[in-house]
Amino acid sequence: MPKMQPEVFSSPVIHRYNGGEPVLSKKDIPYAADCIFNAGVAKFGGKYVMVFRDDYERAPWGGCRHIVVGIAFSDDGKHWDVRKTPFMTPETLQDPDVLRVYDPRLTVIDGRCYVCFAVDTKHGLRGGIAVTDDFEKIEVLSLTVPDNRNMVLFPEKVGGMYVRLERPMPVYSRNGKDRFDIWLSKSPDLRFWGESKLVMGVEDVPFANDKIGPGAPPIKTEKGWLTLFHAVHRDDTRGKHGWEERWTKCYHAGIMLLDLEDPSKIIGKSDVPLIAPETFWETEEGMRTNVIFPGGMILEDSGEVKVYYGASDTVECLATADVGDLLSLVTK
């Protein structure tokens, strides 16, 4: 039986932009939108680019009936212009098995922009990788077999191979429960993936008792790959948290450091959350409250790190921290 969690707080190195007010929410979207969240963000072609999840048409059970992925551009990473039409829809995949596309992450590798995304199909959850040069045309390079999602790409090859973190969802072999871990796979061409290795088990994260998964694509520092993940704590005594009938999970952002040459090796991690739900948008109002879902991390020349995260599956927020402070959390 999942245990009650003692109260947890965000790290003092984290500064919420604009007091935790969203950087993007439904009021900014020029088409149907109810919840705007779980965005991927990158710097590309002199702009900040954000691809975000848009759930729309609220249903009686508390969730939304449809999802598309939208796109927005910004000069400062804070104020966003949203394109008039969505960037990805289920039709983008041209596969009648596909039901929904969501939770996109962006990584720029050698001047091309790659999108990782989750795909719900009639036959399970898949993880996709696509590439675009102009955010108009998009070419799908690979899709996993079910069930796998939360994939993120490293921004360069390591040892001559492309690398991704991912989160398969073994249920049958883990007593039918959510006990999901973070894995790493390699590829020569972003299409064929293998040499898979376990990076971190859910049992290695003191503030998770349910599942963990990759967050934002890793950023390179002198000390290692700085990497965010989400960590889920389930407490069945939690009642209704959000619009849905029941929501007993709490999502935090965690942080770890992976070895530069062998990124399957953790060389440091924080045993407490980097971001825990605290503000109004993170705890009070939304589809599923108490959810912090990091999907974008940008290292600026100044040493500032921007962390973009979905809050309560309802809005997109931004927090900043100094890269040295983040490294001090994972290197003791």
Q: Which two tokens stand for residue 155?
A: 């921004």
Stretch that binds ligand BMA, among 54-62, 78-86, 201-209, 287-295 (CB under 6 A): 287-295
- Cα separation, 60 vs 63, in Å, equals 7
What DSSP designation does 19 have? G
Least Å distance between CB 38 and ligand BMA? 5
- Cα separation, 10 vs 46, in Å, equals 32
Nearer to ligand BMA, 92 or 312 (CB): 312
Q: Which two tokens stand for residue 290?
A: 């108490």
What DSSP designation does 180 have? B
Residue from 101, 291, 315, 321 in contact with ligand BMA (CB under 6 A): 291
228 is a contact residue toward ligand BMA (CB under 6 A): no
Nearer to ligand BMA, 256 or 315 (CB): 315
Nearer to ligand BMA, 164 or 252 (CB): 252
103 is a contact residue toward ligand BMA (CB under 6 A): yes
Residue from 87, 207, 293, 308 in contact with ligand BMA (CB under 6 A): 293
317 is a contact residue toward ligand BMA (CB under 6 A): no
Interaction with ligand BMA in 30-69: which residues (CB under 6 A)? 38
Residue from 105, 233, 288, 306 in contact with ligand BMA (CB under 6 A): 288
Nearer to ligand BMA, 114 or 293 (CB): 293
313 is a contact residue toward ligand BMA (CB under 6 A): yes
Q: In whole angstroms, what separates CA 171 from the centre of its chain?
A: 21
105 is a contact residue toward ligand BMA (CB under 6 A): no
Whole-number Cα distances in Å, 69 to 38, 85, 89, 118, 265? 10, 10, 6, 11, 33
- Cα separation, 41 vs 49, in Å, equals 6
Least Å distance between CB 258 and ligand BMA? 23
316 is a contact residue toward ligand BMA (CB under 6 A): no
Least Å distance between CB 246 and ligand BMA? 12
- Cα separation, 304 vs 21, in Å, equals 19
Q: Which residues contact 7 (CB under 8 A, 6 or more apart)?
A: none
According to DSSP, the residues that pair with 128 across neighbouring strands are 117, 143
Nearest to 153 by CA among 189, 198, 99: 189
Mask: binding to ligand BMA, 248-277, rule CB under 6 A, as x and -?
---x--------------------------
Least Å distance between CB 251 and ligand BMA? 6
120 is a contact residue toward ligand BMA (CB under 6 A): no
- Cα separation, 260 vs 158, in Å, equals 8
Q: Taken in order 167, 172, 174, 175, is the CA torsion positive or negative?
A: positive
Burial of 260 (0-12, 13-18, 19+ CB in 10 A): middle
Catalog residues that contact ligand BMA under the rule CB under 6 A: 38, 103, 251, 288, 291, 293, 310, 313
